Amino acid sequence: MYASLKSIGSYVPEKVMSNADFEKIVDTSDEWIVQRTGIKNRRIAAPNQTTSDMGALAAKKAIERSGLDKDDIDLVICATLSPDHLCMPSTACLISDKVGIRDVMAFDVSAACSGFVYILSIAKAFIESGAKKNILLVGAEKISSLVDYTDRGTCILFGDGAGAAIISATEDKNEAIIDVHASADGKYSDLLITPGCGSTYPCSADMMEKKLQYIKMAGNEVFKVAVRTLTRDVVDILKTNEIKSEDVDLFIPHQANLRIIEAVRNKLKFSKEKTVFTVGKYGNTSAASIPMAMSDAYEEGRLKKGDLMLLDTFGGGFTWASALIRFGGN
Ligand code: ACO
């Protein structure tokens, strides 16, 4: 039995925040942001809109496109670094409720921007073992709730949104998830971190005054490790599976920074036509970035049944992951 990615859906909030909007709140410019990141706009969730609200809307679209009924889903996994609640209930439980999925296992995975590819690997294992048949995966983020809008080094990078996919059992190898590599190295944990609100610095007035509840990033150092790791990861997964880069139909990298994507794309010699770019319009949406990019490619008619997709991602932890997938949807 193989695991097949049958459908993809996404949701983006209505509100657009442009570089011009950031010029009004921090010392920055459209020129600096575009030159250093390639980002022009990002979407920002409404104050009363939660990560699970967005995740549920993306999930409904993915279920509809799969042709399945919500009652066919037997596992729900959500990847997020901005859950509705810090400890419990999980965002996956809330998404299940909002979609109307009852009495099935539901849990969250914390792997920052690599979260979606991590849960893809978990879904693949559940399906191949025969334990589950139809799994709903969601990557959803309200990162605007974790961003310090006075820190120009981070606030311009992030946006909100959600993407979802249905992974189903199949006997057809030509529509299967071929391989997923996922890994981590905690020695870099301080370079990209939300220090507060956990057991190290529990919620307190002092912690809030020090702004430890927000994302802190040593951008330049993260940048260098990201380019190195993303490139090595792709070389590894292609080599392991004896697949040449020219055989890949669509390269879908994590959308953190256009310069990172371009550095990796040029090293690996993927053409622009074969690469998906959404960072300019959505910014970095962390665990939602890859499924949102896949969904955009699908909606633009760039993804057909049997096409070979290569996913590649990197994030806080550090975590990283890549996947080779033959698309199983229509
Ligand atoms: N506008 C204007 N100037 C700025 C801004 C801004 N928004 N932000 C920083 N600067 C300034 C800095 O203060 C610094 O000024 P100085 O030289 O006077 O000290 C100068 O620009 C250069 O700063 P750097 O941090 O060296 O700039 P860099 O070229 O590295 O770009 C960036 C910063 C865009 C953050 C980049 O490092 C980056 O994209 N890093 C990787 C991000 C990433 O991939 N994250 C991984 C996933 S995220 C996740 O897992 C949640």
> H-type helices in 241-313, by residue range?
258-268, 279-282, 289-299
Mean pLDDT over 27-50 rounds to 98
Six-digit token pair at 60?
């409904």
299 band by pLDDT with thresholds 50, 70 and 90: very high
Q: What pLDDT does 32 receive?
A: 98
pLDDT one-digit tens code per residue, 117-160: 999 999 999 999 999 999 999 999 999 999 999 999 999 999 99
Q: What pLDDT does 98 receive?
A: 98
Model confidence, pTM: 0.97
Give the contacts of 207 (CB within 8 A, at least 6 positions apart): 196, 197, 201, 213
The active-site residue out of 78, 93, 113, 197 is 113
Residues with CB under 6 A from ligand 1: 28, 32-33, 36-37, 112-113, 152-153, 156, 192, 219-220, 222-223, 226, 256-257, 260, 284, 286, 314-316
Atom 1 of ligand 1, nearest CA residue: 28
Mean pLDDT over 238-251 rounds to 96
Parse the chain into domains and list their residue ranges: 1-330
Q: What pLDDT does 237 receive?
A: 97
pLDDT one-digit tens code per residue, 69-120: 999 999 999 999 999 999 999 999 999 999 999 999 999 999 999 999 999 9
Q: What pLDDT does 21 receive?
A: 98
The active-site residue out of 19, 134, 257, 284 is 284
Query: Which residue of 19, 28, 216, 222 sits with most ligand 1 atoms within 8 Å of its CB, as the best mutation to test the pocket?
Result: 222
Rounded CA separation 314/318 (Å): 7
Q: Catalytic residue at 181?
A: no
Q: What pLDDT does 122 receive?
A: 98
Q: What pLDDT does 127 receive?
A: 98
Distance 268 CA to ligand 1 centre (A): 24
Rounded CA separation 80/139 (Å): 6
Q: What pLDDT does 73 receive?
A: 98
Q: What pLDDT does 66 receive?
A: 98
Distance 157 CA to ligand 1 centre (A): 9
pLDDT one-digit tens code per residue, 159-211: 999 999 999 999 999 999 999 999 999 999 999 999 999 999 999 999 999 99
**Ligand 1 atom closest to 219 (CA):** 37
CATH topology of domain 1-330: Peroxisomal Thiolase; Chain A, domain 1 (3.40.47)
The overall average pLDDT reported for the chain is 97
Q: What pLDDT does 302 receive?
A: 96
pLDDT over 90, % of the chain = 100
Q: What pLDDT does 97 receive?
A: 98
Q: Catalytic residue at 284?
A: yes
Give the burial class of 31: count Cβ atoms within 10 A of its Cβ; 0-12 exposed, 13-18 middle, 19 or more buried. Answer: exposed
